[in-house]
Amino acid sequence: MKVSAPETGCALVGLMKVRLPSGNCIRLQFAADTLLQCVCDHVDSIQPSLAPCSLLQTFPTRHFTEQDLRCSLQELGLTPNATLCVRPQEKPCSQQQRDSTLTDPSPEPVDSICSPDDLMAQGKRLMPIMGSPAHSVSHSFTIRDELPTTPQHTWGRGQILVHREQDGVEGEQAASQGTDLTPPVSRSLSPRSHQWPSNGVRLRPSDQSNELRSPGSPPAQPGLPNLRARMAAELRQESAERVPTVSRISRVSSVPSLHHLALQGALVLITAPSMQYSRSLSGLTPELAEFIVDHMIKERVLRPRTLELFTGCPIRSLTLNCYPYCTNDLIRHLRGFPNLRTLSLSSCTLITDHGLSVIQYLHKLQYLNLSSCVKLTDLCLVYLKGLDHLSHLVLDQTKVSDDGMYDFLVHSRCSLTHLSVNQTALTERTLNLMSHRIPDLKLLSIKNTQISDVSSLSELKQLHSLHLDNTKVTEQSLLAIRSLATLSLLSLSGVQSLTSDRVLELLSGLSLTRLVLPGRRCLTVNGLSYLRHLHLLVELNLTDHTHITDQGVQHISHLARLQVLSLCNTSVTDAGLLYLRGLRHVEELSLDRTKVTSRGVSQCIPTLPHLQVLGLSDTGVGDNVLKFGIRHCKNLLKVNLSRTRITNKGLRYLRAVSVVQLNLDGTGVTAQGVSDLMASCGSIISVRANNLRQIPTADVSDEEEEIR
């Protein structure tokens, strides 16, 4: 609202905007030579409830003293316009003392319970208690004395909370009076909600007689300071007795690192339309440039223009796998990276044969991955002929055929060592040419093709890895590759024309370190007996071979160099685990969905000194497997105990093991037990604890005798 003040004959006029404690504003007009005291008197006449009042200037902040009241507006710099805030003046100290005496004739001294000085000395312990209801009030806490109720405070638009300077009068306080700073009590408090004191708790020494009260508030009740001190003491004692708990399982800090912030700033500078970087980034080191580009790919902000900024930078590796914005226009700028040695474009479905023409300028390229680029045909191979240093080529799920590969192998100047053509239309025609054109081939993968005869591969004397999964390879052609003395890895998963028993018999005596068998239902105890002739095996996966029993496991015990063994979903029991005790080089053992118990596992795994990964999901083990088995495996890093009978009782034994990852899904542990484990076991980084359940009392304990 606008109120006009009496005007004088002065030429200069001061326009003033006065903000009241309620949040309302009034606009006044005074002559420049008007005293500030006259302004205060005029405000008192408009708002008698605020009389006597004092004024302060918000910007720049200035508190007007008694001397300022005798100065004119022009002398105070309040012309031609100014904004002032009104504060009710506090009552004289003597008047407050009289009011306090009439209200509380004989108050009990606060020092008799807990002095304010003591509270201030223990501020570090008290402040967290008073911080928020979530941390300072427990469900069992009750207030012993009922607090006096006060009217609900109506908040205005706010008021600056700056203490006023001393005005020279001895004993007068500078703190403002008449503003209730405590939050209003909610109108819909539940029965268990904590009722905060309406006047708060003061945490500084002060004279009881100078207790601040809002205008119009009821007189202080007897014993209120006493009650406040007693409440603070109770809360402080309760906080000291409370046991700290860990509420988060993750140990990763949410605070971004300086490195991440700098990287984000660089991305804004490079990609933001209003701040686009107009100069070249060719001066960056290869490592830094690759890191920035990789991050831009991860954030999906790499575009042709931004990639062009790195032209001339000696980038050596670029991975654009599954990048949705990888187009012909984007890879066209790869010509500016002649030092590129590794390029992966897997699942970049927008690239065509014409777009791949830029590859011919990358003369130092050694590794090229074009898998799942579904638009590529034989024409793309034309641009690869001049790559003298190309050694790794991946063409999985492309439209290349025998014609294109034949022409490429005949005219190419490179010497491939790794070739993958999974799920393509290649046939034996291409295989027959490989022994003549790429004799140094070490790895060949022809999964999911129609190839049935691989006998021509017997001339690749350096071949050490051969993947024939889901092909139609015959037993006769498999006999031909027995002459490959360097062959160490052979994968035959899904080959319907062969049985696992026959494969083990045919390959008996080879120097294989890893063997993947054709099917899970065609392996018997007789076939496992041939394993003793494959004594160099370091990895054996027998998952889902349900016919394997304890008798078959006996043949596995002859594989002394075995490092990875999977017996998931087999018929192995505790008796079969005894045969594994001599495999002292085993690092990973998977027994998921088997019939083993805590007793059998506890007798086996302590004899495996290098065990790092253990899988016991969906087995009959309980807390005893932790007490008698896992706690003795000092090198154990990953453990899967999901859907077992593990409870909080067994978790305490993990403190003796440096476990990094732990799976407790579907177990009988509690969230509190997991939190306590995280707090006591500093090595744990990741814990999974979903779908926790309550295990019946009869099933909690293994009820086994102590294993010695």
Q: What is the DSSP string of 18-32?
A: EE-TTS-EEEEEEET
Q: By the 8 A CB rule, do 504 and 484 touch? A: no
Radius of gyration of the chain (CA): 41
Give CA torsion, residues 322, 328, 332, 337, to 10 deg. Answer: 20
Residue range 28-55: mean pLDDT, rounded = 85
Report all structural domains of the chain as residue ranges with CATH numbers, in order of start.
Answer: 13-88 (3.10.20.90), 273-414 (3.80.10.10)
**pLDDT-above-70 percentage for the chain:** 73
Edge-to-edge, what's the strand order for the sheet holding 62-63?
25-31, 13-19, 81-88, 53-57, 62-63
| Cα distance between residue 90 and residue 99, in whole Å | 13
Give CA torsion, residues 46, 47, 48, 51, to 10 deg. Answer: -110
Lowest pLDDT segment from 152-161, 174-183, 350-359, 435-444:
174-183
Separation in Å, CA 264 to CA 271, 286, 455, 676: 10, 19, 55, 36
549 beta partners: none
- Residue closest to 231 by CA, chosen among 195, 181, 180, 183: 195
| Band of pLDDT at residue 346, cut at 50, 70 and 90 | very high
Q: By the 8 A CB rule, do 396 and 421 touch? A: yes
Q: What angle do CA 685, 686, 690 make, to 5 degrees?
A: 155
Q: Can you say whether the dihedral through the CA atoms of 371, 373, 377, 382 is positive or negative? A: negative
For the chain, the first-to-last Cα distance in angstroms comes to 90
- Residue closest to 10 by CA, chosen among 32, 36, 28: 32
Highest-confidence range of 16-30, 279-293, 518-532, by mean pLDDT? Answer: 279-293
pLDDT at position 648 is 92
Q: Which amino acid is at 647?
A: T
- Ramachandran class of 248: left when φ > 0, alpha when ψ lies in -120 to 50, beta otherwise: beta
| Cα distance between residue 196 and residue 184, in whole Å | 9
Q: What angle do CA 447, 448, 452 make, to 5 degrees?
A: 85
| Cα distance between residue 115 and residue 129, in whole Å | 17
Name the 3-class secondary structure at 53.
strand
Name the 3-class secondary structure at 639.
strand
Lowest pLDDT segment from 166-170, 372-376, 414-418:
166-170
* Residue of higher predicted confidence among 576 and 120: 576
Copy the structure tokens of residue 30: 């005074």
Write down the pTM of the prediction.
Answer: 0.63
Indicate the angle between helix axes 123-131 and 224-241, nearest 10 degrees. Answer: 90
Q: What angle do CA 580, 581, 586 make, to 5 degrees?
A: 70
Tens digit of each residue's pLDDT (9 = 90 or more) over 509-550: 889 999 999 987 778 888 899 998 999 999 999 999 888 999
Cβ neighbors of 293 (< 8 A, separation 6 or more) are 302, 307, 310, 315, 318
pLDDT at position 76 is 84
| Cα distance between residue 645 and residue 593, in whole Å | 14
Lowest pLDDT segment from 61-75, 197-211, 440-454, 565-579:
197-211
Is the pLDDT score of 181 beyond 50? no
Cβ atoms within 10 Å of 275's Cβ, excluding its own: 10
| Cα distance between residue 683 and residue 660, in whole Å | 6
* Residue of higher predicted confidence among 606 and 699: 606
* Residue of higher predicted confidence among 466 and 259: 466
Tens digit of each residue's pLDDT (9 = 90 or more) over 368-385: 999 999 999 999 999 999
Tens digit of each residue's pLDDT (9 = 90 or more) over 620-650: 999 999 999 999 999 999 999 999 999 999 9
Q: Which amino acid is at 210?
A: N
| Cα distance between residue 424 and residue 420, in whole Å | 10
* Residue of higher predicted confidence among 649 and 150: 649
Lowest pLDDT segment from 261-270, 469-478, 551-560, 663-672:
261-270
Is the pLDDT score of 126 beyond 60? no
pLDDT at position 225 is 56
Is the pLDDT score of 669 beyond 50? yes
Q: Which residue, chain included where needed, has tokens 């108050």?
A: 107
Q: What angle do CA 67, 69, 71 make, to 5 degrees?
A: 85
pLDDT at position 585 is 95
Cβ atoms within 10 Å of 6's Cβ, excluding its own: 10
